[in-house]
Amino acid sequence: MLVENDYEVKKLTSFKVGGKIKKVIFPENLEKFTSCLQQYPEAFVCGNMTNTLVSTDGYDGVLILTTKMTGYSVEGTKVTAECGLKGPKLSQGTAEKGLSGLEFMVAFPGTVGGEVFMNAGAHGQMIKDTFISGKFFDREQNKIITLKKEEMDFSYRTSICQKRNLIVLNAEFELNDKPVEEIKALMQENLDFRHTHQPSLALPNCGSVFRNPEGNSAGRLLEEACAKTFKIGGARVWENHANFIINDGTATSTDILELMLKMQQAVKENSGISLMPEVRYLGNKNKKEEDICKILYQNLVKM
């Protein structure tokens, strides 16, 4: 099992921000992953690090990355996927077999584990629509458990994982038969939408910064609050959509957190709505970052 010490994580994050991580472990299968979780109960777990902001000062703890756990199997219309498998690969693989239900994943750079964790969705599809069951590591009970869909407490961008400190190990989906041409056409529509409405990862970003409030749009609320003009240090709000932050190559984690807070406060002042971050934070916090995080994440069950 690959273990890296004093690992430069910046190159792996979609924000292209982050210092050295004291220890990074790359488990290759469920058994080794579970062993790591038992050995390091406080370890931070990530998939593709597409929605994680890592401190410029690094992290003195243990990070477990699931990037080597990428297997999946198909039996009829049932698909079982490991947590580290990237969504686009699973979407494309099931499409080739004429299985529909995961088309939305093609436009997400994240992994199956992260998408189950947050009940990811787009274009009328969500994880909860096809999810049947999954294996999870329960950190409180220190053991593997299996949960069915009805036990997942799925709602907008949340699941029971965020309430019970559960780590996704794998997930099983029930998909629908559909002509390959129709599936691929829908996938292309999703990709076209992403290309026109979201910044390319060539512009370092972490995807949507804030969740959409129920019945509303974070992007619209931010635009009404004039957030598109906001810039702090090397971080700026994307000019084409106000719910994205771009790193110009020099941004620090403090720059990004300060900008997130400015955006959140602008919407609060303009509309009375307190936006909740989608971006997770990992690392050693300086005094300013500590103060900002207390405000930014105060309404979340789990950061």
Would you call 181 a catalytic residue per the annotation? no
Q: Which of 157, 164, 211, 220 is catalytic?
A: 157
Please indicate whether residue 278 is annotated as part of the active site.
yes
| CB-CB contact of 132 with 172 (8 Å) | yes
263 touches 209 (CB < 8 A): yes
Contacts of 288 (CB under 8 A, 6+ apart): 254, 257, 258
Question: Exactly one of 103, 258, 278, 289 is catalytic; which is it?
Answer: 278
**What's the Rg (C-alpha) of the chain?**
19
Cβ pair 48, 109 in contact under 8 A:
yes
Active site residue 42: no
Q: Where are the beta strands (DSSP E) in 156-234?
A: 166-174, 176-177, 231-232
Report angle CA 57, 19, 250 to the nearest 5 degrees.
90
- Out of 100, 159, 208, 253, pick the active-site residue: 208
Q: Is 210 helix (H, G, I), strand (E, B) or coil?
A: strand
Residues with catalytic function: 157, 208, 278
